[in-house]
Amino acid sequence: MGGDHGLPVTVPAAINFCRREPQASFLLVGQADAIGSHLTQVEASVRERLQIVSASEVVTMDDPVEVALRRKKDSSMRVAATLVKEGKADVCVSAGNTGAWMAITRYVLKMLPGIDRPALTAAIPDGKGGGTIMLDLGANVDCSAEHLLQFGIMGSALAAALEGRENPRVGLLNVGEEVIKGNEVVKEAAELLRASKLNFHGNVEGNEIFQSSVDVVVCDGFVGNVVLKSTEGLARMIGGMIRQQFQRDLPSRMSGLAAYPVLRRLREDFDSRRYNGAALLGLRGVVFKSHGSADAYAYGWAIQRAYDAVAGGLQQRTASTLRQLAPDSSHAAQEVRAS
């Protein structure tokens, strides 16, 4: 029910995904009559895998967190998170109010042992057909060194689950590669990461996010969100500039026709919709967040990432990684403080 567009985006995306992936089925949570009106023309083989779960309330994009959490107890968000908690759904995707979604999922699902805060994470395109896992992307504006260590653990698990990268390389976003660079929180986080069993690459600068020098980039949510939005804005600007240059005059338009196959592939690579879908890590359940402005194509990619995360055993990998690293992490934190 959420996002800027609601059912005209979410339901068609689910229908199209069912057509592509015969093993998938959906619980469509929200106002039953409104959802049903979007399913009248769906073929029987797909319709039978689309079950409507009624929820009488909707969290709007403007609702404060308190309203969403305490007053709208039968919202589609709350009901959907409960379905994950009860094991009736393997994963949930929402395009709704981000703050409300984080608060509700944290309240309903609770945190994994050893994790203090959930983190939003997604893949940043690296120009080589892959992506660099980056977190946090806006869930936590202020972070401690221990939080950044936990982000590294969760990011490693996600890289292994979604990308098949065993022992992924982890980098800490900083203003320089030298160990003396950064504020006190970042320098302490680097020590914790270095003392852990993670494959810590060291400090990385902003340009390295797009160069595949590491598989996972760790930062606080303030920096991560700025990087994410700046990247999306830059991609749109470059795309617009290319179009303008090929439309300047007749020779330019003729050149554009000749270069169209290359330009089309470039446009696809720059299309931020293909990278939609951020995992909210650290919870006792798998949940994903889509851009609120996503169209059906972009929302379909969020569904795909959620589906792949479950298929790749994200929850099991995260729990296993935490069991292996949490004791060492706690000991490392005590040593860093003592020094």
- 154 vs 136: CA distance, rounded Å: 10
pLDDT at 55 over 80: yes
Show the domains of the chain with their CATH numbers: 124-275+311-339 (3.40.718.10)
- 230 vs 242: CA distance, rounded Å: 18
pLDDT at 119 over 50: yes
Higher local confidence (pLDDT), 202 or 234: 202
- Token digits for 212? 């595949």
Largest CA distance in the chain: 70
Give the count of beta carbons closer than 10 Å to the beta carbon of residue 236.
13
- 295 vs 291: CA distance, rounded Å: 9
- Token digits for 269? 């690579």
71-107 residue pLDDT tens: 999 999 999 999 999 999 999 999 999 889 999 999 9
Are 99 and 65 in contact, with CB atoms under 8 Å apart? yes
- Token digits for 39? 């399913």
Report pTM: 0.82
DSSP for residue 210 = G
User: Which pLDDT does position 297 carry in this prediction?
Assistant: 95
Percentage of residues of the chain with pLDDT beyond 90: 53
Going by pLDDT thresholds of 50, 70 and 90, the confidence category of residue 128 is: low
pLDDT at 316 over 90: no
pLDDT at 333 over 60: no
pLDDT at 330 over 60: no
Give the count of beta carbons closer than 10 Å to the beta carbon of residue 112.
21
293-302 residue pLDDT tens: 899 999 999 9
- Token digits for 74? 């039968």
Percentage of residues of the chain with pLDDT beyond 70: 93
pLDDT at 335 over 50: no
Annotate 7-22 with DSSP letters as a single string.
Answer: HHHHHHHHHHHHHH-T
User: Which pLDDT does position 283 carry in this prediction?
Assistant: 93
User: Which pLDDT does position 129 carry in this prediction?
Assistant: 60
Are 82 and 57 in contact, with CB atoms under 8 Å apart? no
How far CA 302 is from CA of 101, 146, 252, in Å, comes to 15, 29, 37
- 278 vs 288: CA distance, rounded Å: 5
Handedness of CA 200, 204, 206, 209 (dihedral sign): negative
Higher local confidence (pLDDT), 200 or 113: 200
Are 57 and 72 in contact, with CB atoms under 8 Å apart? yes
Going by pLDDT thresholds of 50, 70 and 90, the confidence category of residue 122 is: confident
Q: Tell me the mean pLDDT in the region 219-235.
A: 87
